[in-house]
Amino acid sequence: MGYEQIDPGLPDPDDIDWDDIDWDAEFEGLPQQQILIEYAHRRVIRLVDQWYDLRAGDAIGFGDMPAELQLDPDARIGMIVVDQFAEAICEVFGAEYAEIDADRGQELVGAILGCITQGVSIGLGAIPDDTTDKNDDSRDGDEIGESR
């Protein structure tokens, strides 16, 4: 990764009188709708990543589960669900999920996560703004998790 060349037409930041800038006017000039769309998409990806990485042991009532289920507290809920989707899709097409190569398996998992992400996005879009979680800004720096 290299440094990007600064456009020579832009002023030197040291030469700008930051107190004389009309920040309200500058804000009005930003593509606000595009910014909101991009933020919403990142938020959905973070939510799906959080779900995908949720440990079974963190689930409410995990300690009350029957021992015969032999649930691993470190098993990731999202991974289990996505694997079940992948197995079902393969079964429909007469293939064994365990027998497909790793690249196709990752492609299938990615497609399933993409569909889930799209569904979450649509679902969140249907919720009125005043009922959404306003405290979801805590993970803004973590745009895309390791699960993808």
- Vertex 50: Cα angle to 125 and 98 (nearest 5): 110
For residue 70, what pLDDT band results from cuts at 50, 70 and 90?
A: confident
Give the pTM.
Answer: 0.61
119 within a domain of the structure (yes/no): yes
**Mean local confidence (pLDDT), 81-85:** 94
**Residue 21: what pLDDT?**
86
69 within a domain of the structure (yes/no): no
147 within a domain of the structure (yes/no): no
120 within a domain of the structure (yes/no): yes
Q: What residues make up the domain containing 109?
A: 31-56+74-128
122 within a domain of the structure (yes/no): yes
114 within a domain of the structure (yes/no): yes
Structural domains counted in the chain: 1
For residue 61, what pLDDT band results from cuts at 50, 70 and 90?
A: confident
**Residue 125: what pLDDT?**
83
Residue 53, number of CB atoms within 10 A of its CB: 15
Q: Name the DSSP letter for residue 76.
A: B
146 within a domain of the structure (yes/no): no
